[in-house]
Amino acid sequence: MNLKELATKLGLSPTTVSRALNGYPEVNEATRERVMAAAKRHNYRPNTRAIRLATGRALAVGHVIPLATRHEIVNPIFADFIAGAGETYSRNGYDMILSVVPDESEEQAYRDLKSRGSADGVILHAPRMNDSRIPLLHEIGIPFVVHGRATGTDLPYSWVDVNNRRAFQRATEFLLDLGHLRIGLVNGLEFMDFAIRRRTGYVDALAARGLSPDPALMASDEMTEISGYRAASAMLDLPAPPTAFLVASMISGMGVRRAIEERGLRMGRDISVIIHDDDLSYMKNGDDVPIFTATRSSVRDAGRIAADLLLGIIANPGHGPEHRLLEAELIIGQSTGPAPRPHAPEKA
């Protein structure tokens, strides 16, 4: 059932039927209702392909996922972000198209999205420092929103980000207030923008108390269980081990916990741990009482917001870049406690 058939059945022209269905004013209300009813009765759905061609809009948003040798993007955080963004898209009649491409053809993927007209805009994931994709998207001339920020770029762009610096600064202060002086940082890869900001927050908080960061207490790697385990193990085996850890994700946090418990120590009593919690749907940080003390910010919400921004920009290309800085909450769980009393040299 297409428009023409429906029009014939109604004894109207396609023009009128199209206008009636799309809410244009120059159609008699009685006619409109008749058309609407017939459309529903015959279960008419306009063909998306035709609409796209006729209107010159793709009605779709692209997400490009490079498949690197190091699979950083296809990760749990990504899945939840997508879920959030997807909600917004389908509510607004947009499709979400995912392009999974080999690392080296990422640039071409963006160009194709534009020149072949299959997306009206894109979301840029996992920005790095001086990310070359931002100038690229500017050059291509396609609306985009960045999930995160890219230090080093002077071009304007829209973004949604968590205040990573502040979150890690607060977490560090919290640990310092508990008396912890040696705090291990188990960070993400530090060519990623968010990881740099987190480290900055950590370093700043230390500096504010007159402490200088110990390179031996700062690790940076992918956020996997294994790498969390390794980083924490190495630090715990130092002559002067940390009494607390600041960890970039829930998953690395599990590795850190394993390293702690493997040494017969107890998390929350002997060693404190704060993680960053993206509030993933299938990786809840406890139900009632959080297991980990955490800086929490829902990445799914970030997805929703990023999608909203992007659709806004697509509908209204004139608008200048927009930003949303989300604050993470610091939630207190069972993994933190006062620093253990230092072994005072026993005096006779």
Partner DNA sequence: TGCATCATCCAAAGCGGTTTGAGTGTGATT
Partner DNA sequence: AATCACACTCAAACCGCTTTGGATGATGCA
Enumerate residues 46-65 that contact DNA by CB under 7 A.
46-47, 49-51, 53-56
Closest contact distance (angstroms) between CB of 309 and DNA is 24
Number of residues written out for the chain: 348
The residue type found at 241 is P
Long-range contact pairs involving 19-23 (C-beta distance under 8 Å, separation at least 24): 21/46
Sign of CA dihedral 125, 131, 136, 138: positive
Answer yes or no whether residue 140 interacts with a second copy by CB under 8 A: no
- Per DSSP, the three-state class of 275 is strand
Instruction: Give the residue with the Cβ less far from DNA, 94 or 174.
Output: 94
| Cα gap 227→69, rounded to integer Å | 17
Q: State both tokens at 130.
A: 């001086």
3-state DSSP of 190-239:
CCEHHHHHHHHHHHHHHHHCCCCCCHHHEEECCCCHHHHHHHHHHHHCCC
Which range in 83-91, 169-177, 184-192, 201-209 contacts a second copy by CB under 8 A?
Answer: 83-91
Q: Is 192:249 a contact under the CB 8 Å cutoff?
A: no
86 versus 143: smaller Cβ distance to a second copy: 86
Region binding a second copy by CB under 8 A among candidate stretches 18-26, 153-161, 213-221, 285-293: 285-293
Task: Supply the minimum distance, in Å, between the C-beta of residue 145 and DNA.
Answer: 25
CB 34 to DNA: min, Å:
9
**CB closer to DNA out of 58 and 218:** 58
In the complex, what is the shortest distance from the CB of residue 112 to DNA, in angstroms, rounded to a whole number?
13
> Shortest approach of a second copy to residue 57 CB, angstroms?
9
Query: What angle (nearest 5°) sits at the alpha carbon of residue 61, between those of residues 60 and 62?
Result: 125
Among 8, 13, 90, 132, binds DNA (CB under 7 A): 13
Smallest distance, Å, CB 74 to a second copy? 4
239 binds DNA, rule: CB under 7 A: no
Q: Name the residues that contact DNA, by CB under 7 A.
A: 2-4, 11-16, 18-19, 21-22, 26-29, 31, 46-47, 49-51, 53-56
